[in-house]
Amino acid sequence: MKYGIIGTGWIAESFIAGVRLKTDSEIVAVYSRTAEKGGEFAQRNSIPAIYTNLDIFLESDMDAVYIASPNVMHYPQSKKCLEAGKHVICEKPVTVTPEQYEECKRIADKNGLIYIEAIMYMHTPAREVLRENLKRIGRITSAHFDFSQLSSKYPAYLRGENPNIFNPQMATGSLMDLGIYCVYPALDLFGIPEKITADAVFLDSGADASGSVSFNYGDKLITFTHSKTGQDYSGSEIFGDEGTIHIESISKLINVFLYKSDAEKEQIIHEYSKPELMGFEAENFENYIKNPADEKYLLSSKNALQVCRLMQEIRDRANIRFKEYNYD
């Protein structure tokens, strides 16, 4: 299969490494806003063609596009790619609103194309291992997920620059960037909560710097915290009345241990490298292209839409607002 790439950040390089590790596909083109950045990226990653015009990029010979642009661009670029007949794998969060996701999915379905969110949780084999092991810790009573990662862009923000990640015009901030990694497992493992409470603190730019969310299920409370301005070292935990599961990284779902009072701690999930995790996404994407009726594709689509809805509800509760983006 032939991929085109939109976006020239480090995550696009990890995806390319994943494609090359896990599939036989080729990376045939990159779209960048500038020939200079596109050229450097293409050279570093051995990509034969560079485009600075999205329409011309989409006219070239490729089957699928991986989108790794700022969040606010995901919807218009996904739509454009799907209308041009390309399968799309788009970085998280797949769109800002559920309506945007639904519109893109309708276009994909109408054109016989696959459209998925590049979210590690839904594509790693570790997801199934976690789900199986949950049965071993009895009745789940509560859980706490944390994804707090001090942003490498924070010093630039403090110097007065305006990095995309702290610019509310880009639909970014802590919840959109990191909180989503907690929403996915909460939804996937426990379903839609009965009640949501959420709060956030903001930078002067208006972006949320960190926040907390709780999902009340009646019989259990799942809480999570996320931050771009502090670093977590304690991980995430799921508590049952017969044991506890400790997760080192909720986003990558790696280094997961099961604790029971009558047994030694047991490592149930090991480490995966970033290219491996991105490779699982590419592998699944290509499997769905071959078999669109794959029930994992149906589940991925259902969860992507539901996560979009939950994210919107959390933003409403926490008063997280984005500024209008001028697409011209």
Reduced to 3 states (helix: H, G, I; strand: E, B; else coil), residue 96 is coil
81 binds ligand NAP (CB under 6 A): no
- Of the candidates 280, 231, 217, the one whose C-alpha atom is nearest the C-alpha of residue 253 is 280
Residue choice 3, 29, 71, 184 for contact with ligand NAP (CB under 6 A): 71
177 binds ligand NAP (CB under 6 A): yes
- Binding characters for ligand NAP, 122-151, by CB under 6 A (x = yes): ------------------------------
Of 69-77, 134-142, 183-191, 192-200, the window that binds ligand NAP (rule: CB under 6 A) is 69-77
d(C-alpha 44, C-alpha 39), whole Å: 9
68 binds ligand NAP (CB under 6 A): yes
37 binds ligand NAP (CB under 6 A): yes
Residue choice 92, 105, 123, 127 for contact with ligand NAP (CB under 6 A): 92
What lies within 8 Å, CB to CB, of 295 at 6+ separation is: none
Could you tell me the strand order of the sheet in which 115-118 lies?
49-51, 26-31, 2-6, 64-67, 87-91, 115-118
DSSP classification of residue 25: -
d(C-alpha 213, C-alpha 182), whole Å: 9
d(C-alpha 156, C-alpha 165), whole Å: 11
7 binds ligand NAP (CB under 6 A): yes
By residue count, the chain amounts to 328
Q: Are 55 and 32 in contact (CB under 8 A)?
A: no
76 binds ligand NAP (CB under 6 A): no
Of 18-26, 62-70, 128-136, 285-293, the window that binds ligand NAP (rule: CB under 6 A) is 62-70
> How near is the Cβ of 58 to ligand NAP at its closest, in Å?
15
Number of residues that bind ligand NAP (CB under 6 A): 19
56 exposure class (CB count in 10 Å sphere: 0-12, 13-18, 19+): exposed
Name which of 33 and 135 has its Cβ closer to ligand NAP: 33
Of 31-39, 123-131, 198-206, 218-226, the window that binds ligand NAP (rule: CB under 6 A) is 31-39
69 binds ligand NAP (CB under 6 A): yes
Q: Are 68 and 12 in contact (CB under 8 A)?
A: yes
Retrieve residue 278's tokens.
């991105």
164 binds ligand NAP (CB under 6 A): yes
84 binds ligand NAP (CB under 6 A): no
What residue is closest to ligand NAP based on CB?
Answer: 9
Give the number of C-alpha atoms closer than 13 A to the C-alpha of residue 288, restricted to the C-beta side: 26
**3-state helix, strand and coil shares in percent for the chain, rounded to the nearest 5:** 45, 25, 30
Of 3-11, 19-27, 223-231, 264-272, the window that binds ligand NAP (rule: CB under 6 A) is 3-11
301 binds ligand NAP (CB under 6 A): no
DSSP classification of residue 230: S
100 binds ligand NAP (CB under 6 A): no
Residue choice 42, 54, 58, 73 for contact with ligand NAP (CB under 6 A): 73
Q: Are 190 and 140 in contact (CB under 8 A)?
A: yes
- Of the candidates 216, 161, 225, 154, the one whose C-alpha atom is nearest the C-alpha of residue 191 is 216
Q: Are 213 and 179 in contact (CB under 8 A)?
A: yes
Of 5-13, 81-89, 195-203, 308-316, the window that binds ligand NAP (rule: CB under 6 A) is 5-13
Name which of 53 and 319 has its Cβ closer to ligand NAP: 53
Name which of 37 and 296 has its Cβ closer to ligand NAP: 37
Q: Which residues in this chain contact ligand NAP in the complex, by CB under 6 A?
A: 7-9, 11, 32-34, 37-38, 68-71, 73, 91-92, 118, 164, 177
